[in-house]
Amino acid sequence: IATSIVWVLVDVIILFYYLEPSPTPSPEAHRGIRAGRHVENSANKELHDDKNNEDHRKVDMDVDPDTKRILERLLSIQSFGAPHHGQGGTGVSVPEDQKKEQDKRFLENQFNVLASEMISINRSLPDYRSESCKSNAQGLSTQILPKTSIIIVFHNEAWSTLLRTLHSVVNRSPRHMIEEIILIDDKSDREYLRKPLDVYLRRFPVSIQIVHLPERSGLIRARLTGSAMAKGKILLFLDAHVEVTEGWLEPLLERVAKDRKRVVAPIIDVISDDTFEYVTASDTTWGGFNWHLNFRWYPVPKRELARRGNDRSVPIQTPTIAGGLFAIDKQFFYDIGSYDEGMQVWGGENLEISFRVWMCGGSLEIHPCSRVGHVFRKQTPYTFPGGTAKVIHHNAARTAEVWMDEYKAFFYKMVPAARNVDAGDLSARVQLRNNLQCKSFKWYLENIYPEAPLPSEFKSLGAVTNEKEQTCLDTNGKKDGQPVGLQNCHGAGGNQAWALTGKGEIRSDDLCLSSGAAYQIGDAVRMEKCSAGRSNPKHIFKLKSESGVLMHVKTGKCVAAKGNEVLLNECDESKAQKWLLEGLRP
């Protein structure tokens, strides 16, 4: 469990790394703040205008007393267009005397529920689009685009974030493009998410359907329940704690309408889990994954920027999508096998659908003209029936077994515990891959994701044992810039899982062995982030396979063990310079 939480943390950190500074909210937004009303919109004044703040808190007459009581309480707490809090995407801070309460309630959803409640569920957001996106949008507004069914699944979502999601969608989407909104309540145990929510939903001027599932089915199967009900030509999945921005919908629908095999995601901006500030994410970030089979954000490589003619309004072809927010043609979704019903609770489905779409003839895009904010969390707030690690390994193993061919070995080397979980019956998914005559994972790595941490060509995979010390190369769990270590060989992979790649890198996930910047005899061998495109000359080694000597090509020195240090020394063919590479292939 600890490791999976750490991965989530790492992902969040990586994400913040690529953030750009948040633009200052537009003057209009400020004016909107002062007038106490929202300026950027739109057709449905009835939900939007704050002049009837009191009206928002009134509950229909025909509601039973219990529901009425709960709803009245919720509506009295919830801010409807408070004059300034959070407007224009700004953050809020909870008053000092409520910090205790804040910390307590943070645990409810692993974000600052109190801050969220201070912010209007109709808050304004700046229009973050570039000029070229805006001018493209004018063309779009006259086109007839197919209608979409928006599917939102949730388990114990906070009232304010769920409602803000719905209001933002209704406020910022052309009404005629929305067939319906489908909510799937994945067996929440919070009272307010049942009847009070049902009653509240009547207020919306679009068709909203809600299903309360009798059993917890996990987000994957919950989405399948939603998609089975959908009447729109296009399905659009969203998480339950997002805020869409002006013009978000049209570009997604247009790309799917033009080519039904495209699966299109927006840029996912960050809504702070602490202040609820809306912070824009980089528009040159795409999706990848690592040996753990975690989804990760990485910078878009130059070749893809060039393919787009360096036009920042052209969609990015991405190797993977984050999973939560995307549009897909309904028929295509079913043609390529929707989701794997054998997956549980959370995790894994995003890489599974990503690999499948590319390998089976579709494509994945991130549209830079569509921006949706999402509350990224450092931990999941809800339970994982069956155990967190077990569930996550189960889902990832299903993906690896069905889609990754011989490359699944990287996952099992890095996450040996995944070998011990039962992946369940895979026959239907294997059958699906055969029926669709999908391409190989090697094809995907070579053609769609050559920058992957997982190399398409590799000469060995597993432990690297020193002949003299009889110890193994070990990352020691350290990061970029640290010397690589030697530890007793435990045979369990993880920190001792290394690949000698076709290019000559010795890498463990995204860390490559390297000489120091200005090499001197006897320097320690360090770990550095591998480069995504052409490899860094400092990272290239040559294995003399008869002897097990690993020579650093740039310096002509050899990798040598000395105690528990690993050095680059004058080559001498001694036992200290001989290494046994597990899984060495001719």
Give residues in contact with Mn ion (CB under 5 A): 239
- Does residue 345 belong to the site contacting ligand UD2 (CB under 6 A)? yes
Stretch that binds ligand UD2, among 112-120, 320-328, 493-501, 523-531 (CB under 6 A): 320-328
- Least distance in angstroms from the C-beta of 545 to Mn ion: 48
Q: Residues binding ligand UD2: what is the number (CB under 6 A)? A: 25
Q: Pick one of 48, 155, 433, 526: the residue that binds ligand UD2 (CB under 6 A).
A: 155
- Does residue 323 belong to the site contacting ligand UD2 (CB under 6 A)? yes
Stretch that binds ligand UD2, among 316-324, 423-431, 472-480, 518-526 (CB under 6 A): 316-324
Residue nearer to ligand UD2 on the CB measure, 217 or 466: 217
Q: How many CB atoms neighbour CB 526 within 10 A?
A: 21
- Least distance in angstroms from the C-beta of 572 to Mn ion: 55
Residue nearer to Mn ion on the CB measure, 239 or 329: 239
Distance CA 498, CA 487 (A): 14
By a kind-dependent CB cut-off of 5 to 8 A, residue 234 interacts, out of Mn ion, ligand UD2, none, with none
Q: Closest Cα to residue 239, out of 326, 331, 305?
A: 326
- Does residue 356 belong to the site contacting ligand UD2 (CB under 6 A)? no
Kindly identify the residues of this chain, within the stretch 183-242, that bind ligand UD2 according to CB under 6 A: 186, 216, 218-219, 222, 239-240
Distance CA 102, CA 306 (A): 47
Given a contact cutoff of 8 angstroms between Cβ atoms, the answer to whether 216 and 187 are in contact is: yes
Using a 10 angstrom Cβ sphere, with 0-12 exposed, 13-18 middle and 19 or more buried, the burial of residue 194 is middle
Q: Pick one of 324, 337, 453, 548: the residue that binds ligand UD2 (CB under 6 A).
A: 324
By a kind-dependent CB cut-off of 5 to 8 A, residue 74 interacts, out of ligand UD2, Mn ion, none, with none
Given a contact cutoff of 8 angstroms between Cβ atoms, the answer to whether 32 and 96 are in contact is: no
**Backbone phi, psi, residue 368, to 5°:** -70, -10
Given a contact cutoff of 8 angstroms between Cβ atoms, the answer to whether 475 and 566 are in contact is: no
Residue nearer to ligand UD2 on the CB measure, 214 or 586: 214
Q: Pick one of 248, 297, 298, 346: the residue that binds ligand UD2 (CB under 6 A).
A: 346
- Least distance in angstroms from the C-beta of 270 to Mn ion: 11
Strands 549-552 and 541-544: antiparallel
Q: What amino acid is encoded at 286 in this protein?
A: W
Given a contact cutoff of 8 angstroms between Cβ atoms, the answer to whether 541 and 500 are in contact is: yes
**Backbone phi, psi, residue 309, to 5°:** 60, 30
Given a contact cutoff of 8 angstroms between Cβ atoms, the answer to whether 566 and 485 are in contact is: yes
- Least distance in angstroms from the C-beta of 232 to ligand UD2: 19
Token duo for residue 265: 């995601």
Residue nearer to ligand UD2 on the CB measure, 162 or 461: 162
Q: How many Cα atoms sit within 13 Å of 343 on the Cβ side?
A: 28
Stretch that binds ligand UD2, among 70-78, 284-292, 376-384, 568-576 (CB under 6 A): 376-384
- Least distance in angstroms from the C-beta of 46 to ligand UD2: 27
Residue nearer to ligand UD2 on the CB measure, 222 or 566: 222
Q: Closest Cα to residue 285, out of 295, 271, 300, 296?
A: 300
Using a 10 angstrom Cβ sphere, with 0-12 exposed, 13-18 middle and 19 or more buried, the burial of residue 212 is middle
Positions in the binding site for ligand UD2 (CB under 6 A): 153-155, 157, 186, 216, 218-219, 222, 239-240, 268, 322-325, 345-347, 349-350, 374, 377, 380, 382
